[in-house]
Amino acid sequence: MAEKPEYLRNPAGYALDVSRQLGEVAIKGGQAWSNAIQKMWRAPTGLPVDPTDFGHAFLDFTQAWATNPQRLLELNARWAQDYFGLWNMFFRRVAGEEVDPVVSPAANDRRFRSDAWSDKLAFDFLKQAYLTVGRQLQDLVAATPDMNEASRAKVDFFVRQYVNAVSPANFASTNPDVIAKTLATGGLNLLTGFSNLLDDLARGDGLVKHRAPAGFELGKNIAATPGSVVFQNALMQLIQYDPSTDKVCKRPILFVPPVVNKFYHFDLSPKTSFLKWLVDQGHTVFVISWVNPDESLAEMGIEQYMADGPLAAINAIRDATGEDSVNIVSFCMGGTLTAATLAWLAAKGEEDRVASATMIATLLDFTAMGDFSVFVSDGHIAAMRKYLEKRGFVDADDLTRLFSVVRANDQIWSPAVTHYLMGQEAAPSDLLYWFADGARIPERMLNDVNENFVHGNKLREKGGVTIAGVSLDLAKVTTPVTLVSLKDDHVAEWQGTYRGVHLFGGEARFILGGSGHNAGTLSSPVANRHGYWTNAKTPPTADEWLAGATKHEGSWWPAWEKWLHTHSGAQMKARKVGSGKLKPIEPAPGSYVRMRS
């Protein structure tokens, strides 16, 4: 006899749970409604993108096919073969045969991990039919004749968003895990999920909650590497970490994070902390913690961020340690800012202030930006400028929404299924905690970045960018440089970051790590995963580099640190924080990192 579902084994408890959830739904429904009314009366700020830009792309798409009907008939014939193969597979499985799938999910596609998607014929057929049609739609875009490539990229992006949205995994009636959960709980999961949905609606940020709300506390179990703030100005606090070894390298390290993210991505839980690991290797480590700006800092642009960021930090480190030069380690747009700083110092004849520079997941040539390229055009940039004029900054939620759309399956649909259909909270994650703790960008800084780097793509050009009256030329930079990229990076695709090695005038090395933009950087040797590739040569193209590269198991950290060590000077007695001219202001991680958007 089949075992009773859990809710039937404890009907009294089930009734109490339903009553409690109905009460919460009533309360949260009122909160969500109140929030919606308030938002209706707020002054509109417009959209940070230009919707007509996408409309023009779809117009190009439809016109191209309207003038090439014969090509469309050829595609239809090929698709008919796909459907024949799909139904043939289905009927052979009905007859009891073991049949290989017609199409399978990508290895990193986590939507169909449940055995039910393969073991149960109806769900297996539904999965394969969905994957087949999704592939056909993308093939349709790729095969569109005589189409502007920029328009093709935009249509392809939106087709993939549509395909992701209509996945059978996203609906209660076609997801076998949700059906099983609903039967086991008497539908309590759907009631709980509706309550979770109302929670998110009440917040009003348009985002799916990604993490459990408790479990992490800055300075306790996250961003917890011991140290002190030793310098600060309007834009940043400079943290110096306590030594954990008796001896340290003479030359200190300065870590420069991107202005859009808080620095503790590299100081999450102690077992994954990159900054703690560097300290444990015998380095004196400093890190910039950017302020979370409001409208009062709207006019702070690239010139101020360079002067009050890396340049001010280099001077402060000299006061703290007596050392005239540093090794800079940077990430993403922090790396782009670092490259500009190196060119600025080279033009001023002060290049020896930086002994080496490492740029992780950093674009210097923005010719190709992957999915983000669809949001870079004259129309979008003009819309963003108008949007910023009314606020003075771009909010962290706006940026989170952009990153979420680009990774919709991981950042939108998967958590939506977990929270709204399964009625579950996400397991606590230090990385997701950090991801949700975003920061604003001032109006002028974002406009400067778009004009000079992203849309303008001027940093790669001799004299293309001028900062504080100084013309920049990366070819004049002879500081030894290592670029570290991640193979599955969706923000800074590694083929694009590789082009940066050919822009500098001195030694430039390249290391390719495994995994993606965020997870790939957290490649602790303790975890011993992801792997990495090295190649002593830097041929003209990324594909040539990879063809001649050697694959290694484990973490890229030790291999990179071995190179860093050659630029770190002799060993000396470990420095205590405050032993130089700069005294502790407050304990790490400081107060700037606690500023919420």
Distances (CA, A) of 324 to 253, 288, 566: 12, 18, 17
Topology of domain 227-403+426-594, per CATH?
Rossmann fold (3.40.50)
Residue 480: pLDDT band by 50, 70, 90 thresholds? very high
Q: pLDDT tens digits, residue range 111-130?
A: 999 999 999 999 999 999 99
Tell me whether strands 354-360 and 481-486 are parallel, antiparallel or unpaired: parallel
Res. 24: pLDDT tops 70: no
pLDDT at 70: 86
Res. 205: pLDDT tops 70: no
pLDDT at 401: 78
Residue burial 520-531, b: 16+ Cβ < 10 Å; e: rest: bbbbbeeeeebb
Compute the CA torsion angle 534, 459, 330, 581 (nearest 10 deg).
140
Which of 461-470, 485-494, 573-582 comes out lowest in average pLDDT?
A: 485-494
pLDDT at 74: 86
Asked whether 228 and 583 are in contact (CB, 8 A), the reply is: no
Res. 6: pLDDT tops 70: no
Question: Taking each helix axis from N to C terminus, what angle separates 51-66 and 149-165, rounded to the nearest 10 degrees?
Answer: 100
Q: How far apart are CA 237 and CA 118, in angstroms?
A: 53
Res. 437: pLDDT tops 50: yes
Nearest of 250, 316, 246, 248 to residue 568 by alpha carbon:
250
Phi-psi region of 226 (alpha: psi -120 to 50; beta: other; left: phi over 0): beta
Distances (CA, A) of 490 to 266, 407, 509, 511, 543: 19, 8, 22, 17, 17
Question: Which tokens hold the place of 44?
Answer: 């509109």
Asked whether 342 and 477 are in contact (CB, 8 A), the reply is: yes
Q: pLDDT tens digits, residue range 137-152?
A: 999 999 998 888 888 8
Percentage of the chain beyond pLDDT 90 is: 59
Residue 355: pLDDT band by 50, 70, 90 thresholds? very high
Question: Which tokens hold the place of 313?
Answer: 């930090």
Residue 587 preceded by cis peptide, ω within 30: no
Question: Which tokens hold the place of 90?
Answer: 């289905």
Res. 578: pLDDT tops 90: yes
| Cα 134 versus chain centre, distance | 25
Nearest of 298, 324, 339, 307 to residue 236 by alpha carbon:
307
Asked whether 344 and 585 are in contact (CB, 8 A), the reply is: no
Percentage of the chain beyond pLDDT 70 is: 90
The pTM is what?
Answer: 0.86
Average pLDDT over residues 542-562: 96
Residue whose entry in the numeric block shows the structure tokens 């979420």 = 404
The three-state (H, E, C) secondary structure of 78-143, written as one string = HHHHHHHHHHHHHHHHHCCCCCCCCCCCCCCCHHHCCCHHHHCHHHHHHHHHHHHHHHHHHHHHHC
Q: pLDDT tens digits, residue range 45-56?
A: 566 777 788 888
Map out the domains of the chain as residue ranges: 11-203, 227-403+426-594
Q: How far apart are CA 53 and CA 61, in angstroms?
A: 13
pLDDT at 47: 67
Of 249, 332, 439, 449, which one is the catalytic site residue? Answer: 332
Is 332 one of the catalytic residues? yes
DSSP annotation string for 512-577: EESS-TTGGG---TTT--S-EEE-S---SSHHHHHHT-EEESS-SHHHHHHHHHTTS--EEEPPPT
